[in-house]
Structure 1
Amino acid sequence: MNHIAVLLFSLGVCAVHCGSHTLEYHIALVSSPGPGVPQSTITAYIDGLKYGKYDSDTSRARFLTPSLSSLTEHLDMQTKYAQRFEVIQKHKMEFLMGYLNKTYVNGGFNIYQRKFACELHEDGTVSGYEEIAYNGKEVMMFDKVRVVYVPASQEALTMTQQWNQHYNHAKINKIYMENECIQHMKMYLPYLSTDLERKVCPKVKVSSSESDGEQKLHCRVYGFYPRDVEVKWIKNGRDEIHSEEAAQILPNPDGTYQIRVSVGVTPEEGATYSCHIDHSSLEKPLVVPFEASDIRNYYIVIPIVAALALALVALGIFVCRKRTTEGSRSSQESLPLANESHGP
């Protein structure tokens, strides 16, 4: 059964013969499935290309790229492996819930995630990794040298020890990672090579915003493929501005990717800002300037508006005082007339 479960990872695998490449599987199970949210999903990637998926709603594995559509018999076999694998993963999720629900409370909704990958390097050597997370927090990882799972934190130590005793999968996973997984990469190369060579140039939009008195510049890069991209803000054409926010590359429904890099800036007279994008689809890095005058104008407008507001307030006070003074004088001037009209 364990061997069959591991074979799930042969779900439509491919790699390119030259260069370094990664085959990666994302497994996710939720404790409370709902409409549009299957209890379990398995998604397969090769060099960032999402090519295969299985979910518990359909209980079927399917290819996501037309180039693999002819492999119907293989797909049927992978469906059977996935169904058996799903049962084992449910047991593992229950195991984690028993240990971690006391500390990782998530409002009754819990999610078990597993990332498994094998890597084929340009020199022919192979490697891989495996990580397990619960409610978005990594709890253990696979140690290929010691062939055991190790805790990601001290609080997961006892749980990981029990895991190694209860699930004797470490050796099997290592064998698969270094052998079958790599073999499947090479076997599927003729089918996915065209998809992997596809390149889509990124689109870019720069903007700014103000929050809590801080000015930020945003560089949104979207619609690009493959996944790897470098995005950074440059000041005065030479100085990189480091972002305090961790930028994540996110997938789009059409198979492309997007990322947004934001930085905080302090306006300086004559300073220039530009977003630099480096992607394999580009012949040279793309430079998109941001009009620094927009930032300066922002800070110039605020004092002007404030000054106008103060001027209006001062004018209002002056008018009120003037009316009060004039009213007082009019009253004083009318008293003698009143006395004259009511003479003794």
Structure 2
Amino acid sequence: MHGELPCPACPKRRYPNRELCTLRHALPLLLLMSGFHSLRYFHMAVSEPSPGVPQFVSVGYVDGNLIDHYDSETGRTVPRADWMADNLDQQYWDIETQIGQRNQQVYRINLDTLQGRYNQSGRAHTLQRMLGCDILEDGSTRGYEQYAYDGRDFIAFDLDKMTFTAADAVAQITKRKWEKDRSEAARRKHYLKNTCIEWLRKYMSYGRAVLERKERPMVRVSGKEAHGILTLYCRAYGFYPRPITVSWLKNGEVRDQETEWGSIAPNSDGTYYTWASIEALPEEKDKYRCRVEHASLPEPGLFMWETESNLFTIILAVAFAILLTVVVTGFVFWKYKSGRKKKGYDSAAGTDGGSDSSAKRLWCGTRGDGRHPSSLCSPVGSAAGPATGLQERDTESPRAVGWGQGCGPG
């Protein structure tokens, strides 16, 4: 493709400065580290949309929690977290919708441009953008922006060096164009160091109850033996926040070089799960422990594999203890009830109406079903009752549109 690509439109009422429209969405590539908060945006365009695969999609995340969504099929940006809907007014969502619609047009043209430069045709192609910022535990910040074409790196912005890194010859065209206009890097820096961080702090205040909750991981250790090698698996489920460390120890020493880790993946309820495995000799299984470190745990937890025989023994012991408790409790209750009945019979033999009085005392005493006596002894009619968008008008947008001042890949 030749010539300049059309630039995205920015509502001047909300975005008086053009540089505020530079950046947009980011893929939530969450880092495994503790004590940080993140705002991530991601948008993706496909050259050949199909049912269930829109031509353009963009999503936003705070600390791995989906906060909003736009796609070309609905044509609107909508909240995906209750605390976003509760704190941001309709004008906010209308403006985000305008940005999404404009990005949809720009990305379609950008895809055509790249297909031409790569001399491609006849199959589906994708263009992705990942952008975001973090607030680290020590209060420092960082930002990042990168593009991918057909799932491969294309170009990335280095915030520290204020330069662009091109992955191939076609990306070099875009790099030269952006570096020719020195304001390109300055606009990106302004967004990543200021606008993005400002909105991350706002979102954190809106969703604090959700974002700062802590849910303990459920941990299960299992093993599978094959060809003389025992593979031990340590699985952690249902934890939040996302950062977690799962490691294998042998005789108390960490064995990271021998450990294989799975990704930290989201559950449908907003929690996460992950796993780690290690190979061991069957006769050495008792030397291994899985260590789990998480913000919800006061100290790291150590877990070992309980074989089926050990588990069966534990289950039998627990079942026996429960049965013994039931038998003893039943015997004590039977003795107590028998004694009360005998006392009632003696009283009935000595006085008129004693039988009714004893019956009432027995009914109002401690019962085997655990109900409180006051609920059974209150007379009818007694007090016990029957037996039954916040919008900052002058604040910069958390988002930005398109490729920047140059707009296209170059």
Question: TM > 0.5 between the two?
Answer: yes
Specify the code of the residue in structure 2 equivalent to 1:44.
Answer: G
Deviation at 1:147, TM superposition (A): 3.1
Q: CA deviation at 1:244?
A: 5.6
For residues 99-134 of structure 1, the C-alpha deviation after alignment (integer angstroms, 9 at most, x for no partner) is 5587xx9x9444332211123345654431112223
1:178 alignment counterpart: 193
Structure 1 residue 279: deviation in Å? 1.1
- In the TM superposition, 1:1-344 aligns within 5 A as 1-2=7-8, 3=18, 5-6=21-22, 8=24, 20-70=36-86, 71=88, 72-99=90-117, 108-121=123-136, 125-152=140-167, 156=168, 158-166=169-177, 169-210=184-225, 214-243=229-258, 245-269=260-284, 271-291=286-306
TM-score, normalisation: structure 1: 0.69
User: 1:223, CA displacement in angstroms?
Assistant: 1.8
For the residue of structure 2 that corresponds to 1:188, the secondary structure is helix
Structure 2: any 5+ residue segments left out of the alignment?
Answer: 1-6, 9-17, 27-34, 310-410
**Which of 193-202 and 138-147 deviates more?**
138-147
Number of residue pairs matched by the alignment: 279
Give the whole-Å Cα distance in 1 for the aligned partners of 2:205 and 2:125.
Answer: 40
Deviation at 1:20, TM superposition (A): 4.3
Contact 1:61/1:82 (<8 A) preserved? yes
Structure 1's unaligned 5+ residue stretches are 11-18, 295-344
Distance in 2 of aligned mates of 1:277 and 1:112:
38
**Deviating runs (4+, > 6 A) in structure 1?**
none
- Structure 1 residues 241-250 or 279-288, which shifts more? 241-250
Contact conserved, 2:261 with 2:277, CA < 8 A, in 1? no
Shift of 1:151: 2.5
Deviation at 1:227, TM superposition (A): 0.9
Per the alignment, do residues 162 and 192 of structure 1 end up closer, same or farther by CA in structure 2, a change over 3 Å counting?
same
The alpha-carbon deviation at position 80 of structure 1 amounts to 0.9
Q: More deviation in 93-102 or 158-167?
A: 93-102
Q: Secondary structure of 1:207's match?
A: strand
> What CA deviation, in whole Å up to 9, does each residue of 1:282-334 have, x standing for no partner?
2222222114798xxxxxxxxxxxxxxxxxxxxxxxxxxxxxxxxxxxxxxxx
Contact 2:155–2:175 (Cα < 8 Å) also in 1: no
Contact 2:66–2:80 at 8 Å: present in 1 too? yes
Q: 3-state SS of the aligned residue for 1:179?
A: helix
Q: Which amino acid aligns with 1:260?
A: W
Cα contact 1:7–1:81 (8 A) shared by 2: no
Q: Which has more strand, going by share of residues?
A: 1
Matches of 1:141 and 1:118 in 2, distance apart? 14
For the residues of structure 1 that align with 2:302 and 2:244, how far apart are their CA atoms?
14
> For 1:264 and 1:199, how far apart are their aligned partners in 2?
32
Q: Which has the higher contact order (CA 8 A, sep 6+)?
A: 2
Q: Give distance in 2, aligned partners of 1:115 and 1:40.
A: 14
Distance 1:25 1:273, change over 3 A: same
Q: Which amino acid aligns with 1:258?
A: Y
Q: Is the contact between residue 141 and residue 151 of structure 1 (CA under 8 Å) also seen in structure 2?
A: yes
For residues 277 and 245 of structure 1, the distance between their equivalents in structure 2, rounded to whole angstroms, comes to 15
Contact 2:218 2:239 in 1 (8 A): yes
Instruction: Judge conservation of contact 1:235–1:241 (CA < 8 Å) in 2.
Output: no
Pairwise CA distance, 1:137: 3.0
* TM-score in terms of structure 2 length: 0.59
Cα RMSD of the aligned pairs, angstroms, is 3.2
Change (3 A) 1:82 1:276: same
**Matched letter for residue 48 of structure 1:** G
Check conservation: 2:228, 2:281, Cα contact below 8 A.
no
How far apart are the structure 2 equivalents of 1:243 and 1:37?
40
Letter paired with 2:212 = E
Check 1:210–1:270 CA distance in 2 against 1; reply closer, same or farther (3 A cut).
closer
Distance apart, 1:22 and its partner CA: 2.2
